[in-house]
Amino acid sequence: MGGVLESLSLRSPLAGGRGHSREPARDALSLLHERTAKWVNKLDRAPGRKVWHNYRETRLTYEKSYLARLAYTHRNAVRHGLVPVANQYPWCSAGWFERVATPAQVKTIYSFGEERLRIPDDFDVVAEW
């Protein structure tokens, strides 16, 4: 039987909100990593296993930079061959976004390309999710 960790095999980019201080977000993310790692390891009966890996923080100062990264995030599972269409990957926000956003918002986000983004993305993906 596959473990819960397989569900998390695709590194999930996270686009956060605004704020002057990054400390509360850093603290919240640290707590999220700690608690979800313990939960996943308990479900898989694998105490102490490393679940989360390092993350990279980028401060975005232009709206188009944010929108391009949101498009990148939505296409992540497609880019790694897990699904043919982003909204089919259950752990991606693309499906939710397409349901609640206006057609103009969806068209805008998906119009952004990734060719100018420099995001390290060379990791192995477990396809059996």
Q: Are 52 and 37 in contact (CB under 8 A)?
A: yes
**pTM for the whole structure:** 0.60
Q: Mind listing the pLDDT tens digit for each residue in 1-51?
A: 334 443 444 445 555 555 555 677 778 878 888 888 899 889 888 888 887
Tell me how far apart the alpha carbons of residues 77 and 24 are, in angstroms, rounded to a whole number: 28
Q: How confident is the model at residue 92 (pLDDT cuts 50, 70, 90)?
A: confident
DSSP 90: T
Q: Are 110 and 63 in contact (CB under 8 A)?
A: no
pLDDT at res. 72: 87
Instruction: Give the chain's mean pLDDT.
Output: 77
